[in-house]
């Protein structure tokens, strides 16, 4: 039981004792029927405050319902989600430790009440192999792949600047959208613990009133507050970059885009709150608090579900001065939340809450706000499960939160473990594939299933026509001549037998060559090479030691990609 729960239970017990004592005093002093009535009333009130079987008391439920109705009436979307703005910066740092961090010319910020909000996007330092099993996923190399929560906890009160909180928002997608590609791929995955896409954002909240000296040293007033926010944001980005991660400090426009991404495109002002959810037009958003002791298991297990997306938010704050250790050193308070974005009509919803989660019924909008770079209403703070002290320090040191998704399934290794890696997205500029059309088609189909928009440049369009027709979504998979706009998300250009187009920002190029033929362009980030004599065998190279994997697929996927690959004709050298 966490500290907040124990304190609430103790306060309730004291109130019950006081009420019963007053009833007894009135009854004893009056000696009349009115005294007996007072005692009965006191007993009824006290019983209404008692929690039975772990459930909230009767009066507690009534109070929550009234608070829910009151907060809905007085909520202002303009106050929750004010427009962000850009703050100009001086020249970027040239120190080696900052090289992995992007060099922005502006920093986006948002005033929410008295608090300044800035956001840092975190991406893996490069591609990596992930081994997938039912209920677990393991990185082949963790360097530059994990978000160090203990380092972020140190940044809350770094040097002369004290942050109100740091929130780590991890937004994961297992399969994207509906249609034949995601449905087929989801059946291929089965119970494997795969999170194909993962976007991680670090939200920093600074209240200038909590660090007046730091603000004064940087000019005071609003100017000093903005300078203080930019300094601490760059410091946090630098610390993360020192751990091998790629960081990007978001602009105002990017903060707005992130807010929209995290709500599946729904505007904050369009969302209607019900007791158990928030939603609009078929979209249902439900949130729950994580029991702190269950956080490591939740980080590992919560992503395997049929929801459209899953968001985990870990909030780090300093413990109030009256709750610190005896040595006086600042401690950290940890709380966490899970949010499911669902479309029940499309059967993309979670049937029941997983273990370790406490639904935040009656506080769903406030819980949603915690996982967005907007205002966080204080009503949510009441009775939230938290960890402090040594338990909190041990927890943040043990949680392994990936900075990116596992990518798409490639095959199985010699032990039978599923092997996945990212073939599209941030940090993946060029992929080399020396393989036959069946392998390339499988890669394209799975890329569509995990949310990429795939455009194929080829000299053999007839070999791609059947797959394009089967996917039946030109915004997701199309040939180069198609003018349909690409859907939002990572972009993949497959170059099959033609001259590669010029590299484009935020776009991955996949250069296809025949089995046994080396990549003619070179400089690839990831390479896949098919064995011409054993076409089910692939060599996967993500920059380390190449590994051998075997293609895996369900019968319906083999049918979509044109059948099982046949041995290739030997290549003449």
What's the farthest any 2 CA atoms get from each other in the chain?
111
pLDDT at 572 over 90: no
Of residues 244 and 3, more confidence is placed in 244
Average pLDDT, the chain: 85
Could you give the residue ranges of the DSSP H alpha helices within 338-420?
364-370, 389-398
What number is the average pLDDT over the span 218-246?
A: 94
Rounded-to-integer distance, Cα 128 and Cα 368, Å? 31
Query: Packing angle between helix 180-189 and helix 461-471, nearest 10 degrees?
Result: 90
Has residue 19 got a pLDDT over 90?
Answer: no
What pLDDT digit, counting tens, does each position of 360-415 carry? 988 888 889 889 998 776 666 766 888 988 889 888 988 889 999 999 999 999 99
Own/partner long-range contacts of 505-509 (Cβ < 8 Å, ≥24 apart): 506/426, 508/423, 508/424, 508/425, 508/428, 508/429, 508/430, 508/431, 509/429, 509/430, 509/431
Lowest mean pLDDT, pick from 153-157, 268-272, 356-360, 474-478: 268-272
Report the pLDDT averaged over residues 168-193: 93
Confidence of residue 570 (pLDDT cuts 50, 70, 90): very low
* Structure tokens, 464: 């791609």
Taking only the tens place, the pLDDT of each residue in 114-127 is: 899 999 999 999 99
Kindly list the distances between the CA atom of residue 411 and the CA atoms of 136, 245, 408, 524, 533, in Å, as whole numbers in the listed order.
Answer: 16, 27, 9, 20, 17
CA distance 404 to 282: 28
Hey, is 276 helix, strand or coil?
A: coil
Q: Is the pLDDT of residue 79 over 60?
A: no
Query: Radius of gyration (Cα) for the chain, nearest Å?
Result: 27
Which tokens is 204 given? 């920093």
Return the pLDDT at 308.
94
pLDDT score of 99: 43
Question: CA–CA separation, 381 vs 373, rounded Å?
Answer: 17
First to last CA, the chain: 70
Highest-confidence segment of 4-8, 265-269, 569-573: 265-269
Q: Which tokens go with 502?
A: 């010029």
pLDDT > 70 fraction of the chain, expressed in percent and rounded: 78
Query: How far, in Å, CA of 151 to CA of 157, rounded?
Result: 11
Alpha helices of 303-436 — where are they, by DSSP H?
364-370, 389-398
Q: Is a pLDDT exceeding 50 seen at residue 97?
A: no
Q: Is the pLDDT of residue 303 over 70?
A: yes
Residues 267 and 269: their CA atoms lie apart, in Å, by 5
pLDDT of residue 100: 52
CB neighbour list of residue 335: distance below 8 Å, 6 or more residues apart: 289, 290, 292, 314, 315, 317, 384, 385, 386, 387
Q: What percent of the chain has pLDDT over 90?
A: 56
Query: What does the alpha-carbon distance between residue 399 and residue 160 come to, in Å, rounded to a whole number?
Result: 28
- Per residue, the 3-state secondary structure of 356-376, as one string, reads CEEECCCCHHHHHHHCCCCCC
| Lowest model confidence (mean pLDDT) among 8-22, 423-437, 537-551 | 8-22
- Confidence class of residue 504 from pLDDT cuts 50, 70 and 90? confident
Q: For residue 513, what are its two tokens?
A: 């060559």
SS3 letters for 481-500? CCCCCCCCCCEEEEEECCCC
Mean pLDDT of 516-526: 78
Vertex 266: Cα angle to 264 and 270 (nearest 5):
155
Average pLDDT over residues 28-40: 65
Assess whether pLDDT exceeds 90 at residue 519: no
| Angle value at C-alpha 201, between 228 and 432, nearest 5 degrees | 125
The pLDDT of residue 267 = 86
Backbone angles phi, psi at 155, to 5 degrees: -80, -10
The residue-averaged pLDDT of 407-435 equals: 94
> Each residue of 242-298: pLDDT tens digit?
999 999 999 999 999 999 999 998 888 888 888 899 988 899 999 999 998 899 999
334, pLDDT greater than 80: yes
């Amino acid at each position: 039981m966490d500290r907040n729960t124990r304190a609430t239970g103790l306060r309730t017990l004291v109130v019950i004792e006081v009420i019963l004592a007053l009833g007894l005093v009135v009854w004893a002093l009056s000696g009349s029927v009115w005294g007996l009535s007072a005692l009965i009333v006191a007993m009824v009130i006290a019983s209404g405050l008692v929690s039975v079987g772990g459930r909230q008391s009767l009066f507690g439920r009534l109070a929550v319902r009234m608070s829910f109705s009151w907060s809905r009436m007085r909520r202002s979307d303009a106050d929750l989600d004010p427009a962000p703005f850009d703050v100009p910066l001086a020249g970027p740092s040239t120190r080696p430790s900052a090289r992995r961090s992007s060099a922005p010319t502006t920093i986006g910020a948002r005033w929410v009440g008295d608090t300044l909000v800035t956001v840092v996007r975190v991406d893996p330092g490069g591609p990596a192999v992930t081994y997938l099993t039912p209920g677990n996923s393991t990185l082949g190399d963790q360097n530059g792949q994990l978000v160090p929560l203990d380092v972020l906890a140190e940044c809350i009160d770094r040097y002369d600047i004290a942050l109100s909180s740091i929130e780590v928002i991890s937004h994961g997608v297992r399969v994207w959208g509906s249609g034949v590609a995601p449905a087929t791929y989801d059946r291929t995955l089965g119970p494997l613990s795969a999170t194909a896409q993962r976007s991680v954002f670090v939200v920093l909240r600074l209240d200038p009133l909590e660090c007046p000296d730091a603000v004064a040293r940087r000019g005071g007033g609003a100017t000093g507050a903005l300078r203080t926010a930019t300094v601490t944001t760059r410091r946090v980005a630098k610390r993360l970059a020192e751990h091998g991660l790629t960081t990007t400090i978001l602009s105002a426009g990017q903060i707005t885009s992130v807010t929209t991404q995290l709500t599946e495109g729904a505007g904050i002002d369009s969302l209607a709150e019900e007791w158990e959810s928030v939603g609009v037009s078929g979209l249902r958003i439900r949130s729950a608090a994580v029991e702190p002791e269950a956080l490591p298991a939740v980080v590992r297990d919560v992503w395997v579900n049929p929801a459209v997306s899953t968001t985990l938010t870990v909030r780090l704050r300093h413990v109030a001065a009256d709750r610190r250790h005896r040595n006086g050193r600042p401690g950290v308070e940890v709380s966490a939340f899970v949010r499911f974005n669902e479309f029940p009509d499309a059967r993309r919803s979670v049937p029941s809450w997983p273990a370790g989660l406490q639904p935040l019924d009656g506080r769903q909008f406030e819980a949603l706000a915690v996982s967005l770079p907007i205002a966080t209403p204080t009503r949510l703070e009441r009775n939230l499960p938290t960890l402090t002290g040594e338990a909190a320090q041990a927890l943040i040191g043990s949680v392994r939160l990936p900075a990116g998704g596992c990518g798409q399934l490639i095959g199985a290794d010699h032990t039978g473990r599923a092997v996945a890696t990212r073939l599209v997205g941030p940090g993946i500029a060029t992929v080399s594939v020396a393989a036959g059309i069946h392998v390339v088609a499988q890669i394209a189909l799975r890329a569509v299933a995990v949310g990429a928009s795939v455009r194929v440049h080829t000299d053999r369009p007839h070999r791609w026509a059947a797959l394009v027709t089967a996917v039946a979504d030109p915004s997701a998979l199309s040939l180069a001549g198609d003018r349909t706009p690409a859907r939002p998300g990572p972009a993949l250009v497959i170059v099959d037998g033609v001259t590669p187009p010029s590299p484009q920002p935020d776009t991955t190029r996949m250069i296809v060559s025949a089995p046994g033929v080396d990549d003619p362009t070179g400089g690839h980030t990831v390479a896949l090479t098919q064995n011409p004599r054993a076409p089910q065998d692939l060599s996967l190279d993500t920059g380390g030691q190449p590994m051998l994997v075997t293609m895996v697929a369900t019968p319906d996927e083999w049918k979509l990609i044109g059948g099982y690959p046949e041995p290739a004709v030997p290549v003449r050298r």
